Structure 1
Amino acid sequence: MKDLLVGRAAELARLVRVTRSAADGTAGVALVGGDAGIGKTRLVTELVAEARECGFHVLAGQCAELGDALPYLPLADALRGAEPKVREAAAAHPMLGQLLPGTESAQPAGLTQQRLFGSLLGLLADVQPVLFVIEDLHWADRSTRDLLVFLSRMVQTERVCVVGTYRTDDLHRRHPLRSVLAELKRLPTVTHVELGPLSEGDMSDYVATMGEVGARELGLIVSRADGNPFYAEELFAAMAEGDELPDELASLLMSRVEVLSEAGQRVLRAAAVAVRRVEDELLREVSGLPLAEFEEAVREIVSRGLLRVDGYGYTFRHALLQEAVYTDLLPGERTRLHAAFARLLSSPAELAHHHLAGHDLTGALAASVEAGRQAALLGAPAEAHEHYERALGLWERVDGAAGLAGESREGLAFRSAVMAAGAGDNHRAITQLRALPPTSEVLERLAYYLYEADDQPASIAAAERAVETARDRPELARALATQARALLWSPRHREIEGLTARALDVARASGARDAEVGALLTLATYVEHRGDVGRAHKLVNIAAAEGSGDLAMDLRARFHHARIHYEGGLLDHAAEVADEGIRMAFETGLKWSTFGTDLRFLRFLIHYVAGEWDQAETVAGGFPARVGTVPEAILSSYALFVEVGRGLPAVESRLGWLRPFWSDELAAYMSRALAAEHALWNGDPQAALDHVHAVMDRLVEGESGTIRLAAVGLWALAELGSTGGADELRRRARNAVEAGPTGEGGHLGPEGRAWGLRVEAEWHRVHGRLDVELWRQVVETFDYGFVYETARARWRLAEALLAAGDREAAQVEWDLARETAGKLRAAPLENALHEFGRRARFGDGGRRARFGGGSGGGGGGRGVRSGSGSGAGDGGLTARESEVLSLVAEGLTNREIAERLFIAQKTVSVHVSNILAKLEVSTRTQAAAAARRRGLLD
């Protein structure tokens, strides 16, 4: 039989495009769906061959019909069957190494699943390009489904392609894969390929590849196969053997089994019970045949194409054949075969499956508990939860259940709830914990999960009861630390000092290091926002000094340590601590965990503020541009800081992806604030003001984020020559400055103070006053190390100095700002400074800016004009108004001026009205004449 791919050229071409795109650095995911036997595996096999020819490393694994019994089964199979180079690379990642044969599972140190996911992402980056194939997703366990979603969202610029196949005819309405597929198909990185039946012409061609066949037989096969290649193969094989052709596929498949010898049928029935790939020796033991007879039976089965050799074992040629054989087993026969496998297997997960199918409830309970423990060690909390729940369901039906489980029913139920929370199901964890006797341990976890679910009153109540019912000192320490955490942002936050002091005493006396670190971090956050930054530094230093045994806690400590340094303006110290935390995150596979991601955000901001924009751009390269969720949108927004600052073409594309997520407050705040600056640099202050108001309307009064937004909004008003709304922006910013981070006053870092001063300076600029001393304060306050904002403030200071008549000092500030803009390659700022220097006639102001006419400069090489206020000789006009006036004098209409300056026609109309009022004239002609008399035109 020739191994040709027939009738699938279009589908293969789509998959090949995904792999080629991945080879070029744009990762992708392809989902291949279709009925059983339609040719999914054949199509993917062809793709794998092409990918290998293009230099791809291939990882391929298959899910099995064991429910959630074996977590990460396709990943484990893929790693075991990978080429030596990939296996060696996987062994270097501890969490992946545990999936390889002969490796003991390490004790968990927290965030086990996230570590596994991060480790896989690290492996894919190490050995790229990679094609990772997961077959039969309709049988995937929960953790494998989670892994598929993770990869679909996280692979962006890696040279990685993930391909999954699934049966559409198995997806009933409540199948767990349906919601996953619906989510993934909306992602920009995912390509969906649906395989339908082959046409009659393609089916005829396909049958012809199998061998000689007469016209009558060909017509019969084509008509009966109904476009299904597997059915056609079985019909061809049955016809070649002279068998009658039954109407149903199951009958057809069994007709091919029934021609086997008795020994062959016995072996095949045993193989069907194994569900997945079965080792040669295990299959012989279960079949009960002597070696010679067994080998002859296997040779017969393989020769007829019913089983195929797979390493040191065998698999069915097609799952449909396995299902037909298994379904044909008698009930007692099925039970005895499952029991035989249970006696010989060592994997707790498979044992549990076979014990249950063999009606051995005692064995099923013990194996389920042990399978749950192993799943927890592997970082599969969803599967651990399911195994524990199965054991709890059997508890009342098994004598001596506590002895078999090695713990009480309450203890197992508690661990089941913790695993549910670990799988992201806090609601289920809370429900299960509330059903348990209210011990201190149960109440402490209940309080913790309620806090995570934003139910602060219930969290506080549960934490207080946990403290009251604590039986020993470690329990008390953890309960006190959780109670302090629950009170952090509540009206009772003043109790935190006393609670954390008590928690620390008890934790240190009992060796509860996790409780000690948790209490230290809560106290550090509290005192920092109360203004005692020095003490906060000391507390976080202690928390980060040695490991807590909980990786999440250790990363949290390093993040807060770096954050406090950053917010205090100590950028070098912040960078050092952040780098240490990022190294820990990468080494433990936690790059994409909550605090692993937060540390990389923070490191980006440190680079950005310190003027290390090339490094910042490198870090931002790992932030997704094609976003599909709110967290991805927030992460993507960070990249805009440098992209907008440099006026890069990527800004518009990124904003296009982000716009659908502007309904989320944080995503809107992050991206629309920078979209406003982008609009200002491109000469559209009205659009900028619209962005500012849209975000300000959603922020709570006194929220610190309003300070920077107000400054940007006032900048836009100055460009528009309007004072409307300026007082309100200033009022809200002042309230935020006074409220501080806690909303009750307190410490505001140097960046917050600098933005507050800039609001004041911008407010005066809106009203036509350039306050030299105020802008000097803005420069000095930003000069703690915020390179870009210092340069932008120097631009405004230079304008103020020039308006005040101090030309020499103005040029000094202008030179300093221009030097910084050049080093940063901040094209929009460079263009603005060039234009200001030209109008001020500074020494080399006529020299063309390095990036003049670039994407950040706006208007055909004009760049962004400075918005300086009135000086002695400019008639009280802003720079933008002077620019509009010169075009009015040329006789241009409002529409023509708008096109020339790349601004809205409405904005031009506002400028013209302001010009007429300031020059005290009533027509455009009079304005031009007055401007010439006063020497206002270049």
Structure 2
Amino acid sequence: MHAACGRRVLIGRAAQLAELTAALDRAAAGTAGVVLVSGDAGVGKTHLVSALTRAARERGCAILVGQCAELGESMPYLPLADALWAAARAESPESDAVRAALDARPVLGRLLPDAEGAPGSASELGQQQLFGAALGLLGELGQERPVLLVLEDLHWADRSTRHLLTFLSRVLQRERVCLIGTYRSDDLHRRHPLRPVVAELLRLPNVTGVEVGPFGPGETADYLAALARGAGPVTAEVVERVHTRSEGNAFYAAELYSAESTGEDLPAGLADLLLSRVERLSEDAQRVVRVAAVAGRRIDDELVRRVSGLDEAAAGEALREVVSHQLLVPAGTGYTFRHALLREAVYADLLPGERTRLHADFARLLAGPAGGRRGSAAELAHHSLAAHDLPAAFAASVQAGREAQRLGAPAEAFEHFDRALELWDAVADPEDVAGTDRIDLSLTAVRASGQAGEIRRAISRLRRLLDLADPADVRLGVRIREHLASYLGDIDEDAESQRVARAAVAMLPPDPPTYERAAALATYARTLLYSDPEGEMPAIAEQAVEEARAAGAADAEASLLVTLGIHRELREADAAVAEVFARARDLAVADDNHPVALRAAFHHARTKFDRGDLAGATLAADEGVKLTLENGLGWSTFGTVLRSLQYLIHYTAGDWDEAVRLADGFGIQVVRPPEAQVSAYALFVEVARGADTVDERLRWMAPLWHGETFLTYVARGLAAEHALWQGDADTAIHHVYRVLDSLHPYETGVIRIAATGLWAQADRAARARAAGDDATAWAAAEAGDDLLRRARLVATTTWDGHPRAWLGLEGRAWLARAEAERLRLDGDPAPDAWRETADLFTFGDPDGGFVYEVARSRWRLAAALAESGDREAAAVEWRSATRIAERLGAAPLLGALRELGTRARLDTGRPASAPSGPFAALTVREREVLKLVAQGQGNRDIAAALFISPKTASVHVSNILAKLNVTSRTQAAALAHRENL
């Protein structure tokens, strides 16, 4: 790891550096100023000030940097002496001036280490005389060049230095001096001598404070990437782990990242540094900190007192001392550690027996008398396990899992159930204590894992359960296989999903009807949607509905209704299918099967969206998301897609402010596929607006999209658009083919991706034609034919080869876009194709529909009309697209429109006047070509300037010569000059 790289790169401090630089600029202009820079130890104050000193050096400033040391009051004026000594001996432009100024002021010279009688004589100097000398030296240096004086680590400053700081802050006025002081805010306890000084100085008009806060997650990621430069990429998991533990502290992050390669839990040097702060406390205060470390991140007064064994007065005084040193900080009715790593260090430093005893004390207090528990089951389980009380830990873990389920927290429920399963063999009568058997508890844990979005983990557990289950228990075998098939389908392992579901169905006879067989039939029917070569799905699903009703399996019936609804929709274009989905949702909700209810809710909203009913889709999606969040299923399979669909509907309707509000909860720094899938949707607006966050969001997703089809489709499809807006067709094409490789060839998403690929190939061909590169233009046309073939195939055929009855309004519009782009690829402006595309994207509402795509289509339509010579019609479309782009804040599209407006002269705001004289017969495009001919440009230059092919340019020139009745380009150019074209 190259730590120097990380230290040289300034990350996440742009605002603070701008404020410091502004103070330096004011000083250079003759207004002195003082800036006090605060922040926790290791947060990056010195790094920030170093960036300022480099900037000041580049501006020709005189630089004086001094540092305080942890020496108490024994070295008066240490930072000033340090600054003067270093500047006088440095090979810098100001060194001669500093030496001359010191020679003229012996009182300052005697501060230096090599002065006679130094350093002790400094304390005998007249303070006012020294202060005046320091002020005079700074003023003298400032006459030649601005001065930057940096006094670091003022929390260690001696009394004399604090007086000097106060003096200079009060009297520096017109001197060209900028004074920067840094101090650790976490060291300024209530009685710290610098605390009142800072409070006093910040009231002065020329003194400002700058706080250096911790890194955000993205800044930590950038910082670790800088540290690791040349050593390979830093994974998202490592970034999350380091950021969580360091809490954005740069020094802690660097130390923890270094420890990642050695396997250290907490680097010894970092632990020693953290513990040194605790060792300054009294014995009672140290005891309180140790008790708090065992309690966790948060603790209240009563628990501190009872576990520490201190009486109320002693405990209160100890807490006051700890809080004054900012090791614990008040939070609500209790206290938390100022930094989690401090708690880790204190906890790790406890003796094993001491740690066990303290955990046992907490467990006893939390359990309460006679089983009346005072704390949560999760807390009790934690302390009981650490105290090696396994029966209590087991019982509390089961209870904690059930509490988490009731609270809609499936991830936490899984962790608690998983801990109970680990303890199963270590306790007596586990079934009596848990109220269930081991297999049922395991299935409960699996369901919690799936609801939390950890689908692959759930699949792994189910496969192991198949090996553990009693083969004679057929109904249990069916349950396990049904769950496994369902989860396999969620990750697009369709073939295995169908095989496992078919096996589950075959294990039980249809008579008598059973819940397990009904559920297995529902899952099997769902798998047949995607691969049904024998056409058996409708009959099986209808039969399964009857079996589900006979078995009282309402949730299985609901799932079957959804499957039948999708099947009908594909083959019959039945608009009433939305009501089928709504009925299935209500049935599943009544049966308390929320995963099935969410699947139905998604398709209810989705089918309204596909039919252009954006208002109805919004209401349906909002209801679905509410159901999701109320039951803690936000990261389940349909929880994520419902939240994504809710965002997509607002994006489509042009309500981008609401879409951005929803995306605020998506997160950029993602480490799990469900998080990445939701986060990817934020790219729709970010790419369309050209936001700075696009590259960062894609960087976090990149390690996760391999093998994740849905994520690849959304993220890489939008990455392709992002590349195209930046003029990088080759990168866009690469993304397009990676998406197509991952999608099922009959998946409707292929159409949009193919259209994006055709956009890229059309841009590529236009550049090739302008450069005379016929081979590349031909290759682009071949690739375009393949992309259009794929799009047409999906538009007309379902997965199993049947004709597709319903594509959806958006699907039809994207197909039209693909057709129009294919024509553009050949250099054909094709205004009719682009007009059809724009009309289809309105979804039948001239003022609504897919607002952004309407604007993008009208941009292409305006260009096509202008190229065809109808500039007035082009201006109408151009103005419409521009208004939409301005309202949405779609910067890349707006930039393209403005370029088109300038090039085709569409931005005049008024209809073009009719041409007159010898040019009356020329079209708008021909007049544009004639202007370029008059400038002496050849056909290839004309083609490049107007984004047409050289062949088209040649045709325009021939038409111009014929209409002007001239025989050469020279004659045409002369006529253009004579008529002042």
Q: Give the TM-score normalised by the residue count of structure 2.
A: 0.55
* Shift of residue 692, structure 1, vs aligned partner: 3.7
* Shift of residue 9, structure 1, vs aligned partner: 5.8
Residue aligning to 2:117: none
Q: Please tell me whether residue 815 in structure 1 is matched to residue 872 in structure 2.
A: no
Work out the CA distance in 2 between the residues paired with 1:667 and 1:361. 47
Work out the CA distance in 2 between the residues paired with 1:748 and 1:892. 48
* Shift of residue 478, structure 1, vs aligned partner: 2.0
Work out the CA distance in 1 between the residues paired with 2:718 and 2:190. 40
Residue aligning to 1:752: 811
1:844 to 894, 911, 936: 911
* Shift of residue 758, structure 1, vs aligned partner: 4.4
Residue aligning to 2:434: 405
* Shift of residue 542, structure 1, vs aligned partner: 1.8
Residue aligning to 1:517: 558
Q: Please tell me whether residue 709 in structure 1 is matched to residue 756 in structure 2.
A: yes
Tell me the amino acid that sits aligned with residue 808 of structure 2. G
Q: Please tell me whether residue 436 in structure 1 is matched to residue 469 in structure 2.
A: yes
Q: Please tell me whether residue 527 in structure 1 is matched to residue 582 in structure 2.
A: no
CA contact (8 A) 1:692 1:712 kept: no
Question: Secondary structure of the equivalent of 2:970?
Answer: helix
Work out the CA distance in 2 between the residues paired with 1:644 and 1:405. 51
CA shift in 2, pair 1:928/1:9, >3 Å: farther
CA shift in 2, pair 1:296/1:735, >3 Å: closer
Residue aligning to 1:120: none
CA contact (8 A) 1:608 1:642 kept: yes
Question: Secondary structure of the equivalent of 2:469?
Answer: coil
Residue aligning to 2:521: 480
Where does 1:389-400 land on structure 2 (aligned, <5 Å)?
389-396=418-425, 398-400=427-429
CA contact (8 A) 1:417 1:432 kept: no
* 1:293-340 deviation digits (Å, cap 9, x = unpaired): 966986898899899999999999996777777645699999899779
Residue aligning to 1:194: 251
Tell me the amino acid that sits aligned with residue 911 of structure 2. D
Q: Please tell me whether residue 658 in structure 1 is matched to residue 698 in structure 2.
A: yes
How many residue pairs are counted as aligned between the two chains?
Answer: 693
CA shift in 2, pair 1:463/1:931, >3 Å: farther
* Shift of residue 526, structure 1, vs aligned partner: 3.1
Residue aligning to 1:182: 239
Work out the CA distance in 1 between the residues paired with 2:885 and 2:807. 27
Question: Secondary structure of the equivalent of 1:748?
Answer: coil
Work out the CA distance in 1 between the residues paired with 2:276 and 2:835. 82
Work out the CA distance in 2 between the residues paired with 1:642 and 1:336. 53
Residue aligning to 1:568: 611
Work out the CA distance in 1 between the residues paired with 2:395 and 2:680. 50
* Shift of residue 444, structure 1, vs aligned partner: 1.9
Tell me the amino acid that sits aligned with residue 518 of structure 1. S
Q: Please tell me whether residue 416 in structure 1 is matched to residue 445 in structure 2.
A: yes
Residue aligning to 1:742: 798
Question: Secondary structure of the equivalent of 1:704?
Answer: helix
Work out the CA distance in 1 between the residues paired with 2:691 and 2:722. 9
Work out the CA distance in 2 between the residues paired with 1:563 and 1:831. 35
CA shift in 2, pair 1:632/1:482, >3 Å: closer
CA contact (8 A) 1:309 1:315 kept: yes
CA contact (8 A) 2:628 2:639 kept: yes
CA shift in 2, pair 1:430/1:929, >3 Å: farther
* Shift of residue 891, structure 1, vs aligned partner: 4.6
Q: Please tell me whether residue 678 in structure 1 is matched to residue 733 in structure 2.
A: no
CA shift in 2, pair 1:501/1:689, >3 Å: same
Residue aligning to 2:973: 932
Compare 702-711 and 305-314 and name the one that shifted more.
305-314
* Shift of residue 603, structure 1, vs aligned partner: 4.5
* Shift of residue 475, structure 1, vs aligned partner: 2.6
1:445 to 461, 483, 502: 483
Work out the CA distance in 2 between the residues paired with 1:803 and 1:277. 69
Q: Please tell me whether residue 490 in structure 1 is matched to residue 531 in structure 2.
A: yes
CA contact (8 A) 1:371 1:384 kept: yes
* Shift of residue 533, structure 1, vs aligned partner: 3.8
CA contact (8 A) 1:711 1:758 kept: no
CA contact (8 A) 2:275 2:346 kept: no
CA contact (8 A) 1:772 1:797 kept: yes
* Shift of residue 712, structure 1, vs aligned partner: 1.9
Where does 1:795-810 land on structure 2 (aligned, <5 Å)?
none
* Shift of residue 540, structure 1, vs aligned partner: 1.5
CA shift in 2, pair 1:513/1:927, >3 Å: farther
* Shift of residue 890, structure 1, vs aligned partner: 2.2
1:466 to 504, 509, 530: 504
* 1:403-446 deviation digits (Å, cap 9, x = unpaired): 23222233233333434445522254224422223433222222
Question: Secondary structure of the equivalent of 2:481?
Answer: helix
Question: Secondary structure of the equivalent of 1:519?
Answer: helix
CA shift in 2, pair 1:737/1:46, >3 Å: farther
CA shift in 2, pair 1:520/1:828, >3 Å: farther
Consecutive unaligned residues in structure 1, runs of 5 or more: 18-38, 54-130, 135-147, 163-177, 199-223, 239-252, 258-266, 848-870
Question: Secondary structure of the equivalent of 2:575?
Answer: helix
* 1:105-149 deviation digits (Å, cap 9, x = unpaired): xxxxxxxxxxxxxxxxxxxxxxxxxx9x99xxxxxxxxxxxxx9x
* Shift of residue 662, structure 1, vs aligned partner: 6.8
CA contact (8 A) 1:884 1:911 kept: no
CA shift in 2, pair 1:455/1:367, >3 Å: same
CA shift in 2, pair 1:331/1:279, >3 Å: closer
CA contact (8 A) 1:474 1:512 kept: yes
Q: Please tell me whether residue 499 in structure 1 is matched to residue 540 in structure 2.
A: yes
CA contact (8 A) 1:608 1:616 kept: yes
Work out the CA distance in 1 between the residues paired with 2:525 and 2:484. 14
Work out the CA distance in 1 between the residues paired with 2:942 and 2:732. 24
* Shift of residue 396, structure 1, vs aligned partner: 4.5
Q: Please tell me whether residue 890 in structure 1 is matched to residue 945 in structure 2.
A: no
CA shift in 2, pair 1:321/1:733, >3 Å: closer
* Shift of residue 560, structure 1, vs aligned partner: 1.8
Q: Please tell me whether residue 558 in structure 1 is matched to residue 601 in structure 2.
A: yes
Larger Rg: 2
CA shift in 2, pair 1:197/1:228, >3 Å: farther
The RMSD of aligned alpha carbons is 6.2
* Shift of residue 765, structure 1, vs aligned partner: 5.0
CA shift in 2, pair 1:190/1:507, >3 Å: farther
* Shift of residue 595, structure 1, vs aligned partner: 4.5
* Shift of residue 918, structure 1, vs aligned partner: 7.3
Compare 298-307 and 487-496 and name the one that shifted more.
298-307
Tell me the amino acid that sits aligned with residue 436 of structure 1. A
1:374 to 403, 406, 414: 403
Residue aligning to 2:23: none
CA contact (8 A) 1:555 1:585 kept: yes
CA contact (8 A) 1:798 1:813 kept: yes
CA shift in 2, pair 1:152/1:430, >3 Å: farther
CA shift in 2, pair 1:882/1:444, >3 Å: farther
Tell me the amino acid that sits aligned with residue 736 of structure 1. A
